[in-house]
């Protein structure tokens, strides 16, 4: 499969997908990385893997729809047939979803449907749940709400902070995101 990856930040999930492709765990190619934040480390990682990256800074667009139209055009230009949101921190519009129906997945740091949104790790800690985790799901218009493809559980330990908990959740993200993509690649 020809992947397009969208990322806003560190890009550790981009990294594990690129590695899983390099070592043959996933039969795919990353055609392009789209990032919206000029400082995103994901862009450096792309360069290290020889992956083309395109900066589409949301600040340069008047509306979300304008940004998403440019995203769709960029994905099409690079012949992408499946999209991975790996820490994409912008709300998406129907334009983008309709361009790749059932072909956009996201990784989220909670056991959905609990703790949607950008503060999922903090909210799980505050709620006092003893188990949280991460979810790979299909993207639909409502945030963090599409059909669930894969999940992994992570226990919350008594001394956890947002940072320590997020780090342990990321270990599981880095396991299930490549696995989910591999499954998609296998039909």
Minimum Å gap between C-beta 173 and ligand GRF is 5
Q: What is the DSSP string of 16-31?
A: HHHHHHHTTSS--EEE
Using CB atoms within 10 Å of the CB of residue 6, give its burial: 0 to 12 exposed, 13 to 18 middle, 19+ buried. Answer: buried
Identify residues 125-164 at the interface with ligand GRF (CB under 6 A).
Answer: 134
Sole window of 52-60, 71-79, 103-111, 155-163 interacting with ligand GRF (rule: CB under 6 A): 103-111
Sole window of 3-11, 26-34, 54-62, 149-157 interacting with ligand GRF (rule: CB under 6 A): 3-11
133 is in an annotated binding site: no
How many residues can be counted in the chain?
Answer: 187
168 is in an annotated binding site: no
Sole window of 7-15, 23-31, 45-53, 72-80 interacting with ligand GRF (rule: CB under 6 A): 7-15
Q: Which of 3, 4, 5, 11 binds ligand GRF (CB under 6 A)?
A: 11
Minimum Å gap between C-beta 187 and ligand GRF is 25
Identify residues 27-66 at the interface with ligand GRF (CB under 6 A).
Answer: none
Residue 36: both structure tokens together: 């919206």
CA distances from 66 to 2, 63, 96, 99, 183 (A): 24, 5, 10, 14, 32
Closer to ligand GRF by Cβ: residue 96 or 107 = 107
d(CA 163, CA 166): 5
Q: Binding of ligand GRF at residue 87 (CB under 6 A)?
A: yes
69 close to 95: Cβ distance less than 8 angstroms: yes
Catalytic residue set? 108
Q: Binding of ligand GRF at residue 177 (CB under 6 A)?
A: no
Contacts of 66 (CB under 8 A, 6+ apart): none
d(CA 135, CA 153): 9
Binding site for ligand GRF (CB under 6 A): 7, 9-13, 86-87, 107-109, 134, 170, 173
Q: Which residues are annotated as a binding site?
A: 11-13, 64, 89-92, 106
């Amino acid at each position: 499969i020809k992947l397009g990856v969208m990322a806003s930040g560190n890009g550790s999930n981009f990294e594990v997908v690129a590695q899983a492709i390099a070592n043959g765990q996933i039969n795919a190619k990353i055609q392009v990385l789209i990032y919206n934040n000029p400082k995103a480390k994901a862009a450096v990682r792309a360069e290290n893997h020889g992956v083309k990256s395109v900066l589409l800074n949301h600040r340069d667009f008047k509306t979300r729809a304008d940004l998403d139209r440019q995203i769709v055009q960029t994905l099409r230009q690079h012949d992408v047939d499946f999209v991975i949101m790996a820490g994409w921190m912008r709300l998406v519009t129907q334009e983008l979803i309709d361009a790749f129906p059932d072909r956009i997945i996201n990784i989220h740091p909670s056991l959905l449907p609990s703790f949607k949104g950008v503060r999922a790790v903090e909210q799980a800690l505050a709620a006092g749940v003893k188990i949280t985790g991460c979810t790979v799901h299909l993207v639909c218009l409502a945030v963090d709400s599409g059909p669930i493809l894969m999940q992994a559980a992570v226990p919350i330990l008594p001394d956890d902070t947002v940072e320590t908990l997020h780090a342990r959740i990321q270990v599981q993200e880095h396991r299930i995101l490549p696995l989910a993509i591999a499954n998609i690649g296998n039909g």
